[in-house]
């Protein structure tokens, strides 16, 4: 029996997918094409004319120490965001999995931060750590620690990592909890009878059985850290101090719209386009070949 819906003509199916195609074309293909095109030119400051430079923008870009430093910054930032958000989420999921009473309330509360937009999350953390009026920095001051993420690069990085990871913990928590609850209870009990204590069981049984979830979250979180943390960085540090928190996506914005170097900004977009393509391929390959036990 044919389970798919079949159409007789060609026009109805086209009409049905048209909205999606139009949206993709207008908001993705057109700007992406523009970026590729613009990356080959240098416009004059008033945008009246463009000069063909071929791959000159890319050559300039990769010889720019700030751009290369931005790669390192992005890597450090992404790894930290991923490790922090996944580590905390896994820990909380392990606790929630053992919980019997009040599990529903606990889960609901943990999921809330996911509903907060990145820029708003950034502002929340900024208020708490504001060097003059922030409640956390004030208490740190009482303890004798002078918190100043506006001047201190490490503190700035730490703050944007925490603010970015915070909302993400909810998302990861949901997946980890679902993964943990999919492990049959009797397998854990069998391991307990076999002599494995909690930590041994986690290391030899739970974590291996959770690996499909973990790998999925790893890819998704890296992509998140790469591209969706713009709002957090913009509101908290604007990429500073001294570009210490300027990740690749932020540099596209600051070079293009603040620095008005549209050619370089376009070239950076193209580089990012390549990066995201690679990550997407990895992700899809993985999802299709997802390990099932």
Partner 1 sequence: MATVTLQNVRKSFGKTDVIHGIDLDIADGEFIVIVGPSGCGKSTLLRMVAGLETVTSGEVRIGGKLVNDVEPMDRDIAMVFQNYALYPHMSVFDNMAYGLKIAKTPRSEIEERVASAAELLQLEPYLHRKPRELSGGQRQRVAMGRAIVRKPAVFLFDEPLSNLDAKLRVQMRLEIKALQRKLGVTALYVTHDQVEAMTLADRMVVMNGGVADQIGKPLEVYADPQTAFVGGFIGSPPTNFLNAGLIPGLATGNTIGIRPEHLVLGADGRLQTTVAYTEALGAETLIHCRLPDGNQITARQDATQRIPAEGETIGIDWNDGDAMLFDAGGRRTGKV
Interface residues toward partner 1, by CB under 8 A? 184, 186-187, 189-197, 200, 204-205, 208-209, 293
Q: How far is the CB of 195 from partner 1 (least distance, A)?
A: 4
Token representation of residue 76: 């450090």
Q: Give how far Cα 243 sits from Cα of 62, 73, 151, 257, Å.
A: 17, 9, 11, 16
On the 0-12 / 13-18 / 19+ scale of CB atoms within 10 A, 38 is buried
Q: How far is the CB of 178 from partner 1 (least distance, A)?
A: 17
Evaluate whether 149 touches 237 at the Cβ level (below 8 Å).
yes
Residue-level length of the chain: 293
Tokens at 95, concatenated? 């606790």
Q: Which is nearer to partner 1, 102 or 259 (CB)?
A: 102
- Least spacing, CB of residue 101 vs partner 1, in Å: 11
Helix then strand then coil, in percent of the chain rounded to 5, is 75, 0, 25
Q: Are the C-beta atoms of 111 and 105 separated by less than 8 Å?
A: no
Considering beta carbons, is residue 149 or 201 the nearer one to partner 1?
A: 201
In the chain, what is the greatest distance between 2 CA atoms, to the nearest angstrom? Answer: 77
Three-state SS at 50: strand
Residue 287 is given by DSSP the state H
Q: Which is nearer to partner 1, 32 or 187 (CB)?
A: 187
Min dist. Cβ of residue 205 to partner 1 (A): 6
State in angstroms the smallest separation of the CB of 211 from partner 1: 8
Nearest to 250 by CA among 262, 263, 238: 238
Looking at the Cβ atoms of 96 and 209, the one nearer to partner 1 is 209
Q: Which residues pair with 51 in a beta bridge?
A: 42
Residue closer to partner 1 by CB (options 122, 179) is: 179
Match 């450090």 to its residue by tokens: 76
Of the pair 161, 210, the CB lying nearest partner 1 is at: 210
Token readout for 264 is 């370089």
Which CB, 210 or 266, lies closer to partner 1?
A: 210
Q: Least separation, in Å, of the C-beta of 207 and partner 1?
A: 10
Smallest distance, partner 1 to C-beta of residue 200, A: 6
Roughly what angle, to the nearest 10 degrees, separates helices 207-227 and 262-288? Answer: 160
The residue assigned the tokens 């923008």 is: 57
């Amino acid at each position: 029996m044919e389970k798919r819906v079949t159409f007789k003509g060609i026009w109805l199916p086209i009409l049905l997918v048209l909205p999606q195609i139009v949206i993709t074309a207008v908001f993705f293909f057109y700007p992406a094409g523009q970026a590729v095109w613009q990356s080959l030119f240098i416009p004059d400051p008033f945008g009246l004319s463009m000069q063909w430079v071929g791959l000159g923008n890319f050559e300039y870009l990769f010889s720019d120490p700030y751009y290369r430093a931005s790669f390192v910054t992005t890597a450090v930032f992404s790894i930290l965001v991923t490790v922090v958000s996944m580590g905390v989420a896994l820990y909380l999921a392990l606790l929630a999995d053992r919980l019997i009473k009040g599990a529903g309330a606990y889960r609901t509360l943990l999921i809330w931060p996911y509903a907060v937009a990145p820029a708003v999350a950034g502002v929340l953390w900024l208020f708490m750590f504001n060097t003059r009026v922030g409640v956390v920095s004030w208490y740190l001051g009482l303890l004798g620690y002078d918190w100043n993420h506006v001047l201190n690069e490490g503190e700035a990085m730490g703050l944007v990592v925490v603010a970015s990871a915070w909302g993400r913990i909810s998302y990861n928590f949901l997946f980890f909890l679902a993964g943990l609850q999919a492990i049959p209870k009797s397998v854990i009990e069998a391991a307990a009878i076999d002599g494995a204590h909690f930590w041994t069981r986690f290391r030899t049984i739970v974590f291996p059985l959770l690996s499909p979830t973990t790998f999925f979250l790893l890819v998704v979180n890296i992509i998140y850290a790469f591209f969706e943390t713009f709002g957090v960085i913009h509101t908290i540090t604007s990429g500073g101090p001294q570009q210490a928190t300027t990740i690749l996506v932020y540099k596209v914005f600051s070079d293009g719209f603040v620095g008005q170097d549209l050619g370089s900004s376009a070239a950076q977009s193209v580089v990012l386009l390549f990066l995201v393509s690679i990550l997407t391929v990895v992700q899809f390959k993985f999802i299709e070949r997802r390990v099932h036990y």
